[in-house]
């Protein structure tokens, strides 16, 4: 019985090691105990994973680092400036940087906006509105401008401007994982790279969620 149990356990671990993901193997989301990227996670690889050897990390540090909350200790205020600064740096950066990113086949962190250039259109729906709109996220420098643009766009649907109460709305978005997130929590650059579509929630669902912080 115990042997069977341990076989199942090993199987589950094995599954994890061989699971197909867009990130590099060895990089995991739940990072309570992250190990330094330069030491390969030998323990999680089994002999059976041999056929996946070609995706093992190369000498270059993995680009998609799991992000721990509040680490590195950089002020939130500074972080939002950096996101914009680093996307500019990436645009201006010499070729080798871009090549490494393509090699790593990253799905997460670096702002998609920087690499792509051009525009970043996402659909925006509002509860109760008859049709959706599309906006180009790259047109906006930050959350404040985005919010103003959304208000201007959807004002007509809520009757007259005077009756619009900001706390009755919550601006949310669907991120890469399909989760519904409240707009405004993460730095704007990070938001741009993870936002797939937006939804303006109204009424009782939204009450209390809507924040005028930004």
Partner 1 sequence: MGRGGARDGAAAAPPWHSLPDEVLEHAFSFLPAAADRGAAAAVCHGWLGAERRSRRRLAVANCYAAAPRDAVDRFPSVRAAEVKGKPHFADFGLVPPAWGAEAAPWVAAAADGWPLLEELSFKRMVVTDECLEMIASSFRNFQVLRLVSCEGFSTAGLAAITEGCRNLRELDLQENYIEDCSSHWLSYFPESFTSLETLNFSCLEGEVNFAVLERLVSRCRNLKTLKLNNAIPLDKVASLLRKAPQLVELGTGKFSAEYHSDLFAKLEAAFAGCKSLRRLSGAWDAVPDYLPAFYCVCEGLTSLNLSYATVRGPELIKFISRCKNLQQLWVMDLIEDHGLAVVAGSCSKLQELRVFPSDPFGAGQVLLTERGLVDVSASCPMLESVLYFCGQMTNEALITIAKNRPNFTCFRLCILEPRTPDYVTRESLDAGFSAIVESCKGLRRLSVSGLLTDLVFKSIGANGNCLEMLSIAFAGNSDLGLHYILSGCKTLKKLEIRDCPFGNKPLLANAAKLETMRSLWMSSCSLTLGACRQLAEKMPRLTVEIMNDPGRTCPVESLPDDSPVETLYVYRTIAGPRSDTPDYVQIV
| Bridge partners, 9 (sequence order) | none
Q: What distance lies between CA 198 and its chain's CA centroid?
A: 14
Q: How far is the CB of 96 from partner 1 (least distance, A)?
A: 8
Q: With H, G, I as helix, E, B as strand and everything else as coil, classify residue 75.
A: coil
CA distances from 136 to 7, 115, 119, 182 (A): 51, 16, 6, 19
Out of 10, 55, 74, 180, the residue judged to bind partner 1 by CB under 8 A = 74
Out of 50, 72, 117, 130, the residue judged to bind partner 1 by CB under 8 A = 72
116 lies in the binding site for partner 1 (CB under 8 A): no
Length of the chain measured in residues: 214
Q: Using the minimum distance from each CB to partner 1, give the nearer residue, 88 or 134.
A: 88
71 lies in the binding site for partner 1 (CB under 8 A): yes
Out of 17, 49, 109, 164, the residue judged to bind partner 1 by CB under 8 A = 109
Helix (H) or strand (E) holding 103: helix 95-104
Out of 30, 53, 54, 73, the residue judged to bind partner 1 by CB under 8 A = 73
Interface of this chain with partner 1, residues 136 to 195, rule: CB under 8 A:
142, 144
Rounded-to-integer distance, Cα 211 and Cα 56, Å:
43
91 neighbors 117 (Cβ within 8 angstroms): yes
Rounded-to-integer distance, Cα 164 and Cα 195, Å:
25
Question: Considering only 44-52, 57-65, 163-171, 172-180, which stretch makes contact with partner 1 by CB under 8 A?
Answer: 57-65
Interface of this chain with partner 1, residues 15 to 54, rule: CB under 8 A:
32, 34-38
79 lies in the binding site for partner 1 (CB under 8 A): yes
Q: How far is the CB of 210 from partner 1 (least distance, A)?
A: 13
| Contacts of 169 by beta carbon, 8 Å cutoff, 6+ apart | 200, 201, 202, 206, 210
Where on the chain is the footprint of partner 1 (CB under 8 A)?
32, 34-38, 60-63, 65, 67-79, 81-82, 85-86, 88-89, 93, 96-97, 100-101, 104, 109-110, 142, 144, 211-214
């Amino acid at each position: 019985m115990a042997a069977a149990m341990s076989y199942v356990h090993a199987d589950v671990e094995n599954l994890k090691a061989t699971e197909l993901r867009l990130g590099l193997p060895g990089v995991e989301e739940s990072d309570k105990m992250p190990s330094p990227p330069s030491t390969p996670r030998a323990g999680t690889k089994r002999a059976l994973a041999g056929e996946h050897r070609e995706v093992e990390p190369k000498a270059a540090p993995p680009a998609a680092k799991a992000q721990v909350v509040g680490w590195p200790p950089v002020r939130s205020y500074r972080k939002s400036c950096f996101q914009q600064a680093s996307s500019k740096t990436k645009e201006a950066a010499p070729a080798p940087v871009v090549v490494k990113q393509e090699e790593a086949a990253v799905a997460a962190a670096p702002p998609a906006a920087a690499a792509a250039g051009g525009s970043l259109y996402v659909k925006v729906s509002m509860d109760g509105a008859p049709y959706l709109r599309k906006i180009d996220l790259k047109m906006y420098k930050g959350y404040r401008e985005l919010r103003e643009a959304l208000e201007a766009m959807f004002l007509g649907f809520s009757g007259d401007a005077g009756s619009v109460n900001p706390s009755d709305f919550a601006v949310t978005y669907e991120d890469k994982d399909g989760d519904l997130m409240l707009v405004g929590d993460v730095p704007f650059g990070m938001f741009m790279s993870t936002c797939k579509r937006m939804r303006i929630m109204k009424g009782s669902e939204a009450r209390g969620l809507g924040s005028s912080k930004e």
